[in-house]
Structure 1
Amino acid sequence: MTSLTPRTAFGIAAGVCGTLFLGYCIYFDHKRHKDPEFKRKLREKRRAKKAAGSGKRHITSFPNMKDHEAVQRFFLQEVQLGEELLGAGDLENGVEHLANAVAVCGQPNELLQVLQQTLQPQVFHLLINRLPNIAPRIVAHERKMQEDDIE
């Protein structure tokens, strides 16, 4: 009879531990999926994700353009969000937020010059193309704000 070498014993022990762990995972995964609360929570989570648009364009709520501090906070928030999204590779939403920042900026020409120097040419081109779509949204927001003030 041959004796087990330490290497063989370790291999057998690792195999047994791996099998036990896999069995543990399968058992609790099966138990979790049979739980009615799990299914309810999963449905709610999926509905919430679908309602949020699951990564589609964000609907931006513009500030009251007469409130300078609110506009400044919005501007900084949109620039930061735009930079973060561009850094993460989400060009569409990143450009959207930068366009919002340019739209509320007090000196848009200077900001556009800075962005032209810092952004990649194709990203800057997307930004320039997006700007004409932002102005009507701001005008519509201002009208809504005025209507709310009247009521």
Structure 2
Amino acid sequence: MNMLNKTTVGIAAGVAGTLFLGYCIYFDRKRRADPEYKMKVYERRRRQRKYQNAVRNASLNDYEALQRYFAQEINLGETLIGRGEFENGVVHFVNALGVCEQPTRILGFFQATLSPQVFAMLIIKLQEFSNRANAEMSGIPKIGSANSIDSGDKPVCYGDSSPSTILIDDLE
């Protein structure tokens, strides 16, 4: 009799599990077949992005939040570089430079403290960031190098003939 109870309980648990799984599959299929499902998902994601952008912009207007963000990114970059994760550390340094009031001063500090290879990675990431920012603002920019741009006596960054050319200096 004891064996019959264990068998009955096992069968009941199996049937309940199968019914629950069938229930989940049925309603998942019904949900996905809903013609407005994709629209609902799109709207929810759009609202989330809008909220995140609003929070990010609100924090960019708050000076103390900017200082905290700057310190946090510098600390994360230092920690990651200390662990040997140079790419990720450099990304955090670029994020910190993006909100910094005096980026040239911080770049001088980085040049003095970072190894030449890591500093070169930082410069390359900054150029990529600059290219992305320029592309978002005015289409896709042209990319040139110090050897290919003929600027005459004018500095390359103030050339009148092609203001959308971005200088990528050869690091070697």
TM-score by length of 1: 0.47
Give 1 or 2: higher helix fraction.
1
